[in-house]
Structure 1
């Protein structure tokens, strides 16, 4: 596994907690808290785009 630096867990309502991490190669990771050994990985820009879309309410139908 890459050398991932994880942020503190972010928890929404209930127990829906996830973590965001990055590595020195410029990849971004997102994982369910406690399951960091099985993250989704993409570029940092893709993660930024996802976060912007969520903040803009464009992913509310998925939640």
Structure 2
């Protein structure tokens, strides 16, 4: 597992919390808070766009249980 520095969790009202992390090589990570051993990694720009799209409601169907 890479050495990831995790930021404080981001929590929206009524939904799961997630965390953003980075490593020494400049890679970015996103994980559900409390499940940091299972994460998605990509470029910082790609993860930023993913978060923007989720916030804009473009990915609500992906978050439904």
Q: SS where residue 13 of structure 1 aligns?
A: coil
Q: Deviations over 1:19-46 (max 9, x none)?
A: 0111111211111110001111111111
- Counterpart residue number, 2:27: 27
Q: TM-score, length-normalised on structure 1? A: 0.77
Structure 1 stretches of 5 or more lacking a match? Answer: none
- Richer in strand (by share): 1
Runs of 4+ with >4 A deviation: 60-63
Q: TM-score, length-normalised on structure 2? A: 0.75
- Counterpart residue number, 1:52: 52
Could you say if the C-alpha distance between residues 45 and 11 of structure 1 is closer, same or farther in structure 2, counting changes exceeding 3 Å?
A: same
The count of corresponding residues between Structure 1 and Structure 2 is 63
Structure 2 stretches of 5 or more lacking a match? Answer: none
